[in-house]
Amino acid sequence: MEKKYQDAEALCQRALDIADRTLGPDHPGVGMTLMVMADLYHAQGKEEEAKDLYQRSEAIPEKSTGQIHPDVADAFHGLGAVYENQQDYVLGAALYTRVLEIREEVFGEDHPDVAQSLDDYRRTLRHLGKRQEAQALENRAKAIRNARRAQASSK
Residue spans of the domains in the chain: they are 2-153
- What local confidence, expressed as pLDDT, does residue 115 receive? 96
Q: Which residues are CB-contacts of 35 (< 8 A; sequence separation ≥ 6)?
A: 53, 54, 57, 71, 74, 75, 78
Neighbours of 60 (CB within 10 A): 23
CATH superfamily of the domain spanning 2-153? Tetratricopeptide repeat domain (1.25.40.10)
Give the pLDDT score at 91: 94
pLDDT averaged per 10 residues in sequence order, the chain, 155 residues: 84 89 87 89 90 87 78 90 94 95 95 96 97 97 92 79
Q: What's residue 99's pLDDT?
A: 95
pLDDT score, position 71: 86
Instruction: Note the pLDDT of residue 148.
Output: 87
CB 121 within 8 A of CB 93: yes
